[in-house]
A and B are shown apart, each in its own frame.
Chain A
Amino acid sequence: KNEVEQSPQNLTAQEGEFITINCSYSVGISALHWLQQHPGGGIVSLFMLSSGKKKHGRLIATINIQEKHSSLHITASHPRDSAVYICAYSETSGSRLTFGEGTQLTVNP
């Protein structure tokens, strides 16, 4: 069993829809990261959170430490949001990240 489970694995949406990607983890963590990877490989860090909720533009990330669960929400989705979204956690020491398998999001116009 993976230490980080993401759902869904694939998601297709119409432009303007509200999107939720879920991430569950099984170990104690220090911080949870949400990353975005576009075709070609480049990875961009979207959020790093250890409690509560963060918002950047149309993106919102939440975490529930007790339930070991995090969600990434995209409001008013747009075709340019099409990418792979990856959650990862960092442990109590060092910078090592452990990753989920990613969610392939496709937003159609």
Chain B
Amino acid sequence: KAGVTQTPRYLIKTRGQQVTLSCSPISGHRSVSWYQQTPGQGLQFLFEYFSETQRNKGNFPGRFSGRQFSNSRSEMNVSTLELGDSALYLCASSFDRGPYNEQFFGPGTRLTVL
């Protein structure tokens, strides 16, 4: 089976722009979670999607949004980019929701905001 894929892998944007990141989960996986990793804050949870519905959201401003499609693919969007949004954005998929499901991580999208 192919692993979790994320596109694009690298992205450079300027302040004020918006960006859309894409995540394709492992075939058959229905749950997708997004995480932000920065040197200062480490890994932080952004959102969790299951069956096209956002099930959980981390402590991030409303500029961060996402969605999940019927094929379980997910996108996240960041509007009005700020310098502090520069980070590695990781998505992870699991077969089902729940704390006992192993999560499989994608390679990440490295976003640089200038």
- Residues of A at the B interface (CB closer than 8 Å) are 29-31, 33, 35, 40-45, 48, 50, 86, 88, 90-102
Contact = CB atoms under 8 A, between A and B. Distances in A.
Contacts of A96: 33, 45, 48, 56, 58
Nearest to A90: B99
A39 to B, nearest CB: 12
A30 B99 contact: yes
Contacts of A44: 105
B97 interface: yes
A31 B100 contact: yes
B72 to A, nearest CB: 13
Question: B-side binding surface: helix, strand, loop or mixed?
Answer: strand
Please tell me the size bucket of the interface on B: 20 to 34
B97 A95 contact: yes
A92 B99 contact: yes
B56 A94 contact: yes
B102 A101 contact: no
Given A101-B42, A102-B42, A95 B110 contact: no
B45 A98 contact: yes
A84 to B, nearest CB: 10
Which 7 A-B pairs rank lowest in CB-CB distance, beginning with the nearest?
A: A30-B99, A90-B99, A43-B105, A99-B43, A41-B108, A94-B56, A96-B45
Nearest to A101: B42
B104 interface: yes
Interface in B10-58: 31, 33, 35, 37, 42-45, 48, 50, 55-56, 58
